[in-house]
Amino acid sequence: MKTLLTESELQTGVSQMAAAITASSTGRQLTIIGVLTGSVVLLADLIRQIDQPMRVGVIQASSYRGATTERGELVINSALMIDISGRDVLLVDDIFDTGHTLAKVVAKLQDLGPASIRSAVLLRKTGRQEVDYQPDFTAFSIPDEFVVGYGLDYEDMYRNLPYLAALEPADLAKHASQAGAF
Ligand code: 5GP
Ligand code: MG
């Protein structure tokens, strides 16, 4: 694996994003919604650094992928959602790639009648955007490589890595040979 962002680089970027979010505060309470599962590490770090009263909830969005590049249909599960009607929402996700996921989750949340919705992402891949929607806060822009760690997975593994790494062909071969080794 090739490290793209070290643990300390990640912490610096997340702290700066938290400061920008705090600085943009209108004084009203925030409702932070993390997109499961990729946002869990960012969510935990970010909410502890935003100096403002907040409520925290989650929503699940999954697009079934086989290979690293192809993407299946997006399924949004709002069964775990807290009430957001009349609230100022900050949606938190791991990565903005084509943007379809975040745009669809925002559209889904709009139906629930929030006062406002903004979004914050850890990563944004340059040159990949396919939607008009833009995240309001981005910690890092990265090149178009498949990355894992700090919440991001490959087949539900590697989310626990404290750094961000790009998976290389040799890693995929190793992963395949170890699949199901429990
Ligand atoms: P989008 O809909 O913006 O194209 O893709 C967003 C979703 O695809 C993310 O929430 C994430 O689940 C997945 N994704 C996109 N790029 C990567 C990547 O490089 N690594 C991982 N682990 N997931 C990615
Ligand atoms: Mg995701």
Is the beta carbon of 133 within 6 A of some atom in ligand 1? Answer: no
Give the global pTM. 0.94
Rounded Cα–Cα distance for residues 182 and 180 (Å):
6
- pLDDT for res 66: 54
The domain segmentation of the chain, as residue ranges, is 2-64+74-144
pLDDT attached to residue 17 = 98
- Stated as kind and residue range, the H or E segment containing 120 is strand 116-125
Distance from the alpha carbon of residue 68 to the mean position of ligand 1, in angstroms: 9
* Whether 117 contacts 95, CB under 8 Å: no
Q: Beta strands 164-166 and 30-36: pairing type?
A: unpaired
Catalytic residue list contains 144:
no
What separation in Å is there between the alpha carbon of 27 and the centre of ligand 1? 32
Phi and psi torsions of 17, nearest 5°: -65, -40
Q: What averages of pLDDT result for each successive group of 10 residues across the chain (182 residues)?
A: 97 98 95 98 98 96 67 88 98 97 97 98 96 97 97 97 95 87 75
Neighbours of ion ligand 2 (CB under 5 A): 38
In this prediction, residue 100 carries a pLDDT of 96
pLDDT at 180: 74
Task: For 2-64+74-144, give the CATH class.
Answer: alpha beta
pLDDT of residue 63: 84
- Ligand 1 and 45: CB distance under 6 A: no
pLDDT the model gives residue 65: 62
Residue of 93, 97, 136, 171 marked catalytic: 97
The pLDDT value recorded for residue 107 is: 97
**Ligand 1 nearest atom to the CA of residue 128, by list position:** 4
Cβ 135 under 6 angstroms from ligand 1 = no
Substitution site in 74, 97, 106, 123 for ligand 1 pocket (most atoms within 8 Å of beta carbon): 97
| 83, 171, 178 from 69: Cα distances, Å | 34, 15, 21
